[in-house]
Structure 1
Amino acid sequence: MRNVSILGCGWLGVPLAMSFLEAGFQVKGSTTSEKKISDLELLGIEMHLLNISEFKGFDTFLETDILIIAITSKDIDAFKNLISQIQNSAVQKVIFISSTSVYGSLNRVMTEEDAVLINPLTTIENLFRENTFFETTILRFAGLFGGDRHPANWFKDGRKISQPEGFVNMIHREDCIEIIHLIIVQNCWGTVFNACANHHPTRRAFYTNAKLSRGFKAPEFEENQEFQWKIVSAEKVQLLLNYTFIHDSLLTLKE
Structure 2
Amino acid sequence: MLLNSYSGATIKTISILGTGWLGLPLAQHFVSMGHNVIGSTTSKHRLTELTSIGVKPFLIDIGSLPDTIQEFLQADVLIINIPSKDIAGFRLLAQAIEKSALKNIVFVSSTSVYDNTNTVITEADGLESEQSPLVIIENLLKKCNTAKTTIVRFGGLIGYSRNPGNFFRKGRKVQHPDSRVNLIHRDDCIAIITQIIEQEVWGEVFNCCADTHPTKREFYTQAVTSIGNPAPEFILTGTSPYKIISNQKVKQRLHYQFLHPDLMKIQFEDAL
Q: Name the TM-score, length of structure 1 as normaliser.
A: 0.98
Do residues 217 (structure 1) and 227 (structure 2) align?
no
Q: CA deviation at 1:90?
A: 2.1
Q: Which amino acid aligns with 2:172?
A: R
Matched position secondary structure for 1:113: helix
Q: Which amino acid aligns with 2:159?
A: G
**Distance between the aligned counterparts of 1:245 and 1:64, measured in 2?**
28
Given candidates 72, 75, 90, the residue that maps to 1:64 is: 75
**Distance between the aligned counterparts of 1:96 and 1:242, measured in 2?**
20
Do residues 42 (structure 1) and 56 (structure 2) align?
no
Do residues 6 (structure 1) and 16 (structure 2) align?
yes
Partner of 2:135: 122
Query: 1:161, 1:220 within 8 Å by CA — same for their partners in 2?
Result: yes
- Structure 1 ranges of 4+ moved more than 4 A: none
Please identify, of 220-229 and 92-101, the stretch whose mean Cα deviation from structure 2 is larger.
220-229
**Distance between the aligned counterparts of 2:172 and 2:14, measured in 1?**
41
Matches within 5 A, 1:99-248: 99-114=110-125, 115-118=127-130, 119-248=132-261
Matched position secondary structure for 2:225: helix
Q: CA deviation at 1:22?
A: 1.1
Partner of 1:94: 105
CA RMSD of aligned residues (A): 1.0
Q: Deviations over 1:29-68 (max 9, x none)?
A: 0000111111221011101111010133302111111000
Q: CA deviation at 1:253?
A: 1.9
Q: CA deviation at 1:222?
A: 1.1
Query: 1:210, 1:253 within 8 Å by CA — same for their partners in 2?
Result: no
**Distance between the aligned counterparts of 1:182 and 1:63, measured in 2?**
21
**Distance between the aligned counterparts of 1:76 and 1:225, measured in 2?**
36
Please identify, of 241-250 and 114-123, the stretch whose mean Cα deviation from structure 2 is larger.
114-123
Structure 2 vs 1, CA of residues 55 and 39 (structure 1 numbering), >3 Å: closer, same or farther? closer
Matched position secondary structure for 2:184: strand
Q: CA deviation at 1:226?
A: 2.2
Matched position secondary structure for 1:154: helix
Q: Deviations over 1:113-143 (max 9, x none)?
A: 1220122111001111122210000100000
**Distance between the aligned counterparts of 2:168 and 2:228, measured in 1?**
15
Q: Which amino acid aligns with 1:77?
A: A
Q: CA deviation at 1:92?
A: 0.9
Query: 1:6, 1:69 within 8 Å by CA — same for their partners in 2?
Result: yes
Q: Which amino acid aligns with 2:48?
A: S
Give the count of matched residue pairs: 255
Q: Deviations over 1:62-93 (max 9, x none)?
A: 11110000001101010000011111112110
Query: 1:145, 1:171 within 8 Å by CA — same for their partners in 2?
Result: yes
Q: Which amino acid aligns with 1:52?
A: I
**Distance between the aligned counterparts of 1:112 and 1:82, measured in 2?**
25
Query: 1:97, 1:141 within 8 Å by CA — same for their partners in 2?
Result: yes
Structure 1: gaps of 5 or more residues: none
Partner of 2:92: 81
